[in-house]
Amino acid sequence: MKIRRKKIALVLMAAFISVSGLLAVPMHEAHAMASETETVMPMADTYIWKYKIENGVTYKRLYNQSTKRWVGNWIRCK
């Protein structure tokens, strides 16, 4: 009984090792596959409105969050 279990275990391990060796991809091929599918997409800038109240008058100004710069001048809101 013990010998039969050992034989079955050895056959299963040998089968697993032989199948796993067939599925392995050489490193240079894996790198070539990854570089072909890799694409670079430019991201759009993110703009938000900033508000301030000065002497009871509300102003707004556009701010680019991506570049951290102001876009345009302060505009008086109605």
pLDDT digits (tens, 9 = 90+) for 20-61: 666 665 666 656 555 556 677 778 899 999 999 999 999 999
Return the closest-CA partner of residue 67 out of 45, 48, 50, 51: 45
34 and 47 part of one domain: no
Q: How far apart are CA 73 and CA 66, in angstroms?
A: 18
User: Which distant-in-sequence residues (6+ apart) come within 8 Å of 15 by Cβ?
Assistant: none
Residues 77, 49 within the same domain: yes
Q: Structure pTM? A: 0.46
Same domain, 3 and 25: yes
Two tokens, residue 48: 């938000």
How many domains would you assign to the chain?
Answer: 2
Query: What is the tens place of the pLDDT at every residue in 55-71?
Result: 999 999 999 999 999 99
Cβ atoms of 40 and 54 closer than 8 Å: no
Tell me, yes or no, whether 61 and 72 share the same domain. yes
Residues 3 and 30 occupy one common structural domain: yes
